[in-house]
Amino acid sequence: KSEKMKSITDFSFSHQWTTQLQEVTLRQMRVLSKYPTHERAISSARFLHHQLPLRFAYLSHNLNSLSQVTNISSSHYFKSIHGFSKDSLNLFQNSFDKSQSLNSLQDQSHSLLSLANSFGETKELLLSGLKNWSSRNTQLSIPVASSVQTSLENIAKTYIEVQTLITNFSNMMDFLLKANISDRFSDVNKTSHVSMSNLGAIIEDACENLRNICLDKIGDTPNINIDGDNSVEIVCVESQVHFIILELLKNSAQALIESGDIDNPISVKINRTTNNNIEVHVEDQGGGISQDNLQKVFSYFYSTTKEPQPTYTYSGSFGVPLSGIGCGLPLSRLYAK
């Protein structure tokens, strides 16, 4: 075991460790943390202690693969990401306490949550660096382009997994340590990062976010019509569903802006299918996308829009972007998967 951990710490990777990566479903996380107990918290901590190092190794493997095809291993961005991964692994291993008292578990939860919060910053750093690299290397061979996309997909998947697992464990610990026992089960949803959520409320919130972004960017807001059963509840990670809906709305708004018809409404439809699945359709009359470009929309850094020029009245390209980065749809698809 010590040799294995040493190899992981040194950021080597093998197929044998890949087979030990255990996938976790939303249903499993929901069941585990629905009624938190000390025993379930210990079980979750042991799972994280075993699985997070493997995921860090997988992250490092893909960072190394990315550096080989992009030649950016010496850049500030790559060094920051790679260093963070190694430091994070060491931090977690040092924080694991076999006594597994509630206080010890809470300390681990705080350490892991700090790690998860830093993940978002490092992900943005990586995407920023690679966006700059891709803008300077527009004529890539098909094998190189495919390798870059695969590595980015695997890296993003690892970030999502780690953040979701850690946040779910942290929420469970916070709820378990409530001083008032009766408060623990007053709202079962709060025990888990995975919750039973009202889909209509998530969509309404995403629509309001879009209105605020558009008002800030162009001084106008699109009309949005929501149809269907907005009382539907789904088991999900709420922030991930919100991200998906907002990205689709942003694309629709950008299409309407470019067509010069911002007053043409965006339609959001919530449908329940015959096999009891829930579908959300976001539709607009912004002109669509050509067949040639349709296959590219889920590629990282692909975008058909140009960054708007800021004016003295509206923020333009400053602040929260409306479009143009080229990561919204591929990340949305990954969240959906």
The string of pLDDT tens digits covering residues 192-241 is 678 889 999 999 999 999 999 888 877 888 899 999 988 999 989 999 99
Burial string for 47-76 (b: 16+ CB within 10 Å, else e) reads: ebeebbbbbbbbbbbbbbbbbebbebeebe
Tell me the two tokens of residue 267: 């339609």
Q: In whole angstroms, what is the distance from residue 195 CA to residue 168 CA?
A: 10
Q: In whole angstroms, what is the distance from residue 124 CA to residue 130 CA?
A: 10
Q: What is the mean pLDDT of residues 280-295?
A: 86
Model pLDDT for residues 101-158, shown as the tens digit of each residue:
777 787 778 777 777 777 666 677 677 777 777 777 777 777 778 888 888 898 888 8
How far out from the chain centre does Cα 130 lie? 17
Q: In whole angstroms, what is the distance from residue 105 CA to residue 173 CA?
A: 8
The pLDDT, as a whole number, for residue 324 is 59
Q: In whole angstroms, what is the distance from residue 256 CA to residue 145 CA?
A: 30
Q: Give the pTM.
A: 0.81
Beta-sheet pairing, 278-283 with 266-272: antiparallel
How far out from the chain centre does Cα 87 lie? 21
Q: Which residue has the higher pLDDT, 316 or 193?
A: 193
Contact criterion met (CB below 8 Å) for 272 and 232: yes
Q: Of 121, 156, 205, nearest to 332 (Cα)?
A: 156
Q: Which residue has the higher pLDDT, 188 or 117?
A: 117
Contact criterion met (CB below 8 Å) for 58 and 20: no
Q: Of 118, 119, 117, 97, nearest to 108 (Cα)?
A: 97
* Highest mean predicted confidence (pLDDT) among 12-16, 163-167, 236-240, 273-277: 236-240
Question: Could you give the count of Cα atoms lying within 13 Å of 252 in the half-sphere of its Cβ?
Answer: 26
Helix axes 26-34, 142-176, angle to 10 degrees: 10
Sign of CA dihedral 207, 234, 181, 97: negative
CA distances from 134 to 69, 299, 305, 333 (A): 12, 12, 16, 21
Question: Could you give the count of Cα atoms lying within 13 Å of 21 in the half-sphere of its Cβ?
Answer: 19
Tell me the two tokens of residue 30: 């929901």
Tell me the two tokens of residue 240: 């991930």
Q: In whole angstroms, what is the distance from residue 164 CA to residue 158 CA?
A: 10
Q: In whole angstroms, what is the distance from residue 11 CA to residue 310 CA?
A: 43
**pLDDT tier for residue 88 given thresholds of 50, 70 and 90:** low
| Rounded to 5°, angle at Cα 130 from 75 and 117 | 90
The pLDDT, as a whole number, for residue 5 is 44
Q: What is the mean pLDDT of residues 30-53?
A: 82
